[in-house]
Structure 1
Amino acid sequence: MFLLTTRPIDDALSDCKLLNRKNINAVASPSMKIFQNSIKLNSIYDGIFLTSRHAAHVIKFIEDKKTPVFCVGSSTAKLARMYGAENLIVGKSDALFLANKVKCYLPKNSKILWPSNNTLKDSIYIDLENNVYNVDKKQTYSALPLKELDINSTNLILNKQVLIVLFFSFKSTEMWIELINKANLFKFLNNINFIGINEKIVNYLCDLSLNKVLLSRRKRRASVLSLGMKVFNNMEKSL
């Protein structure tokens, strides 16, 4: 039996490598592909707000590598360090927790670069701006949906060999379900366990009438993987 991880292919393969070392039959089942956009920075920033590892490449274009870089998690921090960042503050949770870190470290009227896959003025953006921070949110990468589900995932689902599917972002969850519907595989999902990194994902899956949905204890990749391993091993023993 198998576990599917739905992050973009390079990230999913990293998950599989870790899970396979723990004797979990893990397979990459991506729903999107990441494209890095060209970047031109004309300003000097007091801090960099990294909510995704896919945005870490922006550090290459920051002249002062001692600029504080706020990272949503350890994997993002690892990449930022690889690109030359010398002053890392790691949130180890979600974007809201990271925004609170900014308030602790930077004085008001600071200018913050937020490299992202969109320029939406969401609740995190508004929270930072309301605390008198000048937030420059730039689209530095794009997450585009794949045209179809990979053949390996398709065959495993058709043959009822999937025990668990892991979801790490709401957008990739939506895209994965769209690929499932496109392949007419939704009816095969009823006996699969789904694990989401946050409540939004869990609520979305429950609204689709999928009844085996679990929420990870913390909003971190490691927490999702840990719960996935625990559930997988328990289910394997019961087969």
Structure 2
Amino acid sequence: MHRLLLIDDDEALAAPLASYLARFDFALSAVTRPSAALARLAEERFDALILDGMLPEMDGFAFCKRVRGGSEAWREIPILMLTARGDLTDRVVGLELGADDYLAKPFEPRELAARLQTILRRTRLAPAMAAPATLLRFEGLEIDTARRLVATGAGPVELTSTEYELLVMLAREPGRVFSRDEILNRLRGQEADLFTRAVDILVSRMRRKLEPLEALKTLRNAGYCFALPVAGGPTAGGGEDGS
């Protein structure tokens, strides 16, 4: 059973949502304040967070930033943000801060369950889907897929799980152009028309974290590709060519 933590100041939401999500093998705990959520995270392991955007003490966006800047375990935990409006700005800000998905209030519990299943399936399958090669070396960048570590000449690079998966997907096929729709389908396992802007946000975040390397190239009206030269030869990670 997957353990979820709901952070939402609407106390009436937790009980019926917990009852519904139990049908999908989710065990939901709930807190109404970020301070209580941080205390629970320090003591317990959760498989995903459901985070409301409007909270006392600090808003959901500040809480998301706090979690992503915390311990290694916190940085890996999937976060689904709830927004009071279907406002694009809220979605963009949440994704830029490291949220894995969003859902506008009011929402259908079945859609929430489906999105949680997708996030957790993607997280669970990511290591199994990795190619046999465990070390991808490029000029100025190294990706250790066995330990899920990324480093540049300046040191380790902290990526969210979604950012990491996108980087590995592109780096395994250097020079290949991936469209936004293809990227969303590969990462989310859903139809790509949900939010194609999310890909641009992910790439923008990754570029900032990888600076000054110019690892990700944009091809207008086509998509993105990995552009760093392979270190020490024409292959990376034991046999994948960069053509």
Q: TM-score range by the shorter chain?
A: 0.3 to 0.5
Greater relative contact order structure (CA < 8 Å, 6+ sep): 1
Q: TM-score, normalised by structure 1?
A: 0.37
